[in-house]
Structure 1
Amino acid sequence: MHALETCLYVDDLDRAEAFYSEVLGLALYGKAAGRHLFYRLEGSMLLIFDPRSSALPGDVPSHAGKPGGHACLGIAREDTDAWQARLEGHGLKVTRYAWGDRGESLYFEDPAGNVLELAPASIWGFTLEE
């Protein structure tokens, strides 16, 4: 079993789209104006909802939440320095944390205050093939 979806909540979808598309370089998979953004990752989806509209009744149970969540996106261990430079180049405050010999995580916030982390799978003892 693995995580198929990760869901975060934002209060401004336009700012979120600019951040996730431009800063992180993710390709937008789908969106509904005023409701959500969907990004396809490697083997999973990142869902970003506006909680005001995603809490309304509809065909799918409501996705009500608020900014302040956390998601960790996997990167290659050897790309950590390049990602830190990229994030800082966009004006983000990055906190780097070493997990002993397992690798390092980069922590930063999106415009809504969600705490994001970029890290290699090795911090959890996984290999990319798992």
Structure 2
Amino acid sequence: MRALETCLYVDDLDRAETFYSEVLGLSLFGKVAGRHLFYRLDGSMLLIFHPEASAQPGDVPPHAGKPGGHACLAIPGEETDGWQARLEGHGLRVTRYAWGNRGESLYFHDPAGNVLELAPASIWGLTLET
């Protein structure tokens, strides 16, 4: 079993779309204005919801959260320096943390205050299928 979806909540979907599409370079899979953004990752989905809109009854059970969540996106370890430069080039404050000999994580915030992390799967002793 593995995670299929990761869900974060944001108060400003337009600002989130700019951040996730332009800063992180993710490809938008689908969206409903005022409700959600869906991004396809390698083998999973990143779902970004507006908390009030997703709490309304609809085709799927209502759910809601608050900005301030956490998601870690896997990157190859050799891309850590490049990602740090890219993020800092967009004015983000990046915290780098070393997990012994397993790799390093980059921590930063999205515009809604969610804590994002970029790290190789090796920090958990995992490998990713390619």
| Superposition misfits of 4+ residues, deviation over 4 angstroms | none
Distance 1:66 1:33 in 2: 19
Does residue 81 of structure 1 match 2:64? no
**Counterpart in the other structure of 2:66:** 66
Structure 2 counterpart of 1:100, which letter?
A: G
- Residue correspondence of structure 1 range 1-130 to structure 2 within 5 A: 1-129=1-129
Q: How far does the alpha carbon of each residue in 1:23-69 deviate from its partner, in whole angstroms, 9 at most, with x for none?
A: 00000000000000000000000000000111001110012111000
Q: For structure 1, which segment, 114-123 or 59-68, has the greater mean C-alpha deviation from structure 2 after superposition?
A: 59-68
Number of residue equivalences = 130
Distance 1:41 1:28 in 2: 10
Distance 1:122 1:63 in 2: 32
Secondary structure at the counterpart of residue 48 of structure 1: strand
Secondary structure at the counterpart of residue 21 of structure 1: helix
**CA-atom RMSD in angstroms:** 0.9
For structure 2, the 5+ residue unaligned runs are none
For structure 1, the 5+ residue unaligned runs are none
Q: For structure 1, which segment, 5-14 or 54-63, has the greater mean C-alpha deviation from structure 2 after superposition?
A: 54-63
**Structure-1-length-normalised TM-score:** 0.98
**Structure-2-length-normalised TM-score:** 0.98
Structure 1 counterpart of 2:115, which letter?
A: V
Determine if contact 1:121/1:127 at 8 Å carries over to the other structure. Answer: yes
